[in-house]
Amino acid sequence: MTDKILEALTEKLDRLIAAVERLGPAPAPHSDLDAADCFVWDPEGGRLEPVTRVNRVDLSLIKAVDRVREILVDNTRRFAAGLPANNVLLWGARGMGKSSLVKATHATVAAERTSGPALKLIEIHREDIASLPTLMTVLKAAPHRFVLFCDDLSFDHDDTSYKSLKAALEGGVEGRPDNVIFYATSNRRHLLPRDMIENERSTAINPSEAVEEKVSLSDRFGLWLGFHKCSQDEYLEMVEGYVRHFGLRADPEITRAEALEWATTRGSRSGRVAWQFVQDLAGRLGQRLET
């Protein structure tokens, strides 16, 4: 009788231990940082998802931004070599290659690395900025160097996640890990809408301090690289560069006239418009754009 009671108690104790273990936090998922050169941060899973096929173009195809291209490549090379480098905000006109330049620069510099830590590109989505401290914890112990990239970064009313970004870039107790640098693209130079800043000015006890807090977010980026609308000649240079790169069999004069008409119907000239025209041209020619 005693043995049966002891056996029943042991069984209940085992079930109780199993139940308590299920209530505890799940073990942190493992991210294989050698699986790829580029990753996307998954905050819900707490892991980095490898991207085996990256949507990017060759650095030489990004036209009309020669000076900012040189600055970004040089900054990235210094960071990859373990030298001091700045966080970068690429801001300005839509479609002028801001995000393309970040991805192409990473590919170029990563390919140059023959020794030392590898250079990885990590994309974090705008809506996941609040999880930056968790991501920094994952990256700081890794043996690689990381370009942390957020595309189309901006903040709207009642959005306080910008404070997480400020702390992660420079202002936290630990600061930004030595093996992480932050690149962001935005259509706004100050990342926050003007009326949001003005609202802070009108409601704060000390208006100047409130505005200073908002504007200081952009100050966390040591480099501001501006992108402006391109001229007609620069637009045509982009089209011609794509045509040559992909070996499209098209008459140059006809292509030029069609490219100008395409831009006119779109009401703008940019790298994105040039790429969209080239896709249309290749489709009409029955040729594939082999990257």
pLDDT in tens, 154-206: 776 666 666 667 777 765 566 678 999 999 999 877 776 655 545 544 554 44
How do residues 21-41 score in pLDDT, each as one tens digit?
Answer: 566 444 445 668 888 999 999
The dihedrals phi and psi of 4, each to the nearest 5 degrees, come to -65, -40
State which H helix or E strand residue 17 sits in.
helix 2-23
69 token code pair: 């291209």
Q: Which amino acid is at 156?
A: D
40 with 52: CB under 8 angstroms?
Answer: no
pTM for the whole thing?
A: 0.80
Dist CA 75 CA 53 (whole Å): 25
- Residue given tokens 């990017």 in the structure block: 56
Q: What is the DSSP string of 226-275?
A: EE-PPPHHHHHHHHHHHHHHHT----HHHHHHHHHHHHHHHT---HHHHH
Query: Closest Cα to residue 63, out of 272, 264, 220?
Result: 272
